[in-house]
Amino acid sequence: MDNHRVEKLNDLKAMGVNPYVNSFKVPFKISVIKEKYINTSNNELLDKKYRVTVAGRAMAIREFGKAAFISIKDRSGVIQIYISKKDLSEEEYTVFKKTDIGDFIGVSGYLFKTKTGELTVFAENYKILTKALRDLPEKWHGLKDVEKRYRQRYVDLIVNDDVRELFITRSKIIQEMRKYFIENEFIEVETPMMQPIAGGATAKPFITHHNALDMTLYLRIAPELYLKRLVIGGLERVFEINKNFRNEGISTKHNPEFTMVEWYMAYADYYDQMAFTENMLSTIAQNVLGTTKITYGDYEIDLTPPWDKLTLEESIEKYTDIKKEDLKDFNKAKSIAENLGIKIEKNWGLGKIVLEIFEKTVEEKLIQPTFIIDYPKEVSPLAKSKFNNPEVTERFELFIAGMEVANGFNELNDPIDQKERFQKQVEAKEAGDEEAHMMDNDYIRALEYGLPPTAGQGLGIDRLVMIFTNKNSIREVILFPHMRPEEV
């Protein structure tokens, strides 16, 4: 707390003024008032005396003698207030003199325009609504320290208008996404955040304990297996927008807690999913940003469908001097990977090695929207194999701006095959792979009741917002990213 503010707080209390009022009704936000009267002449404003009530945070105070101008900001914009000592009661003027930048105030009065033509409220009644006890960052320098911005997002939102607009854009992206699903006959569902088995992805989970049931639970790494249970139950098109948790590293592209949308379509395949995705994302871009051509860093990204499709091997051949044929031979692929500095684990097969080569050499080069398709079975424990090549799955990942944005596939609906793949994952976990999938016997039982031909997909909303808002760090688009604790 800042001492000079605490002194003013105590002065207000001594006057019998409540510095933290219970309620203050505002009929219209500031932008509505400005839109309605911005073109009204000053003569008409003074003649008609259009009275308004406004409230907001004081962002600037300019005093001259017994008068002053205050700029206040609400969620929609800024308007100027004119204060004159002779036009307020003695108590109201004293309250004004106890006002600092950052305080919330409420004002009633009539509109007029200054000599420069700025629409202004001539204060006839003045009230302090909330007394702030800390100074805001200095106006011209603002809040620039990145770590402080993330830790004190509340201050970041107050002083940096572009940050506030970013999170409004994020909200609009999610709204448009939800709208698109509903228009395509999906139903929105909620599945457990705490799960007895960490499933649906290969990742290291957060672990907790349920005292009443005396059982270990895992914060979910993905909702996949629960959503597919719903498809088995007859909910043929489902989606969920929610958090996933993975106990892994933090980087500009990774946060341990992140937002995803995951959805499943019965009687669709992974090509249907790719078409659905490119149409959905281009529609969202058009509706939220007004264009399907967006800037990300030094690149212009064109979201206009259709998007490129390459197999894993085709992409490596296209972006490197490695030949597809060499990726079909274990020893040759292993040698290529080792020459790239990739440390080969003893339990890796050819498919895992090829994926590592792709991630090392190609991923960051996929700037324009690109679907990488047909992943090895070894790294796709939940995806359906191709009928004519059982070691390759009908799976894709979407890359934009050098980042993986989505992962989808034809769902494996053979319970016998699924159990065998789970067993291989269990063996990998026992060999030390902390990210390997657990055995889920209840999910196998569900599959035994029959899952119709289904395609599913998960899409990272945080990374999508990064791309749509031209931000190079995931922390910029998460309101409260994870940080090391600090002493306050």
Binding residues for Mg(2+): 397, 404
Convert the chain into a string of H (helix), E (strand) and C (coil). Answer: CCHHHHHHHHHHHHCCCCCECCCCCCCCCHHHHHHHHCCCCHHHHHHHCCEEEEEEEEEEEEEECCEEEEEEECCCCEEEEEEEHHHCCHHHHHHHHCCCCCCEEEEEEEEEECCCCCEEEEEEEEEEEECCCCCCCCCCCCCCCHHHHHHCHHHHHHHCHHHHHHHHHHHHHHHHHHHHHHHCCCEECCCCCEECCCCCCCCCCCEEEECCCCEEEEECCCCHHHHHHHHHCCCCEEEEEEEEECCCCCCCCCCCEEEEEEEEEECCCHHHHHHHHHHHHHHHHHHHHCCCEEEECCEEEECCCCCEEEEHHHHHHHHCCCCHHHHHCHHHHHHHHHHCCCCCCCCCCHHHHHHHHHHHHCHHHCCCCEEEECCEHHHCCCECEECCEEEEECEEEEEECCEEEEEEEEECCCHHHHHHHHHHHHHHHHCCCCCCCCCCHHHHHHHHCCCCCEEEEEEEHHHHHHHHHCCCCHHHHCCCCCCCCCCC
CA 369/CA 301 separation, integer angstroms: 8
List residues bridging with 58 in a β-sheet.
Answer: 72
Listed residue (127, 69, 62) closest to 93, CA to CA: 127
Which position has the token pair 């960052």?
137
Listed residue (252, 268, 153, 247) closest to 202, CA to CA: 247
Give whole-number Cα distances, 480 to 148, 170, 474, 486, in Å. 11, 14, 11, 14
Contact predicate 353/334, CB 8 Å? yes
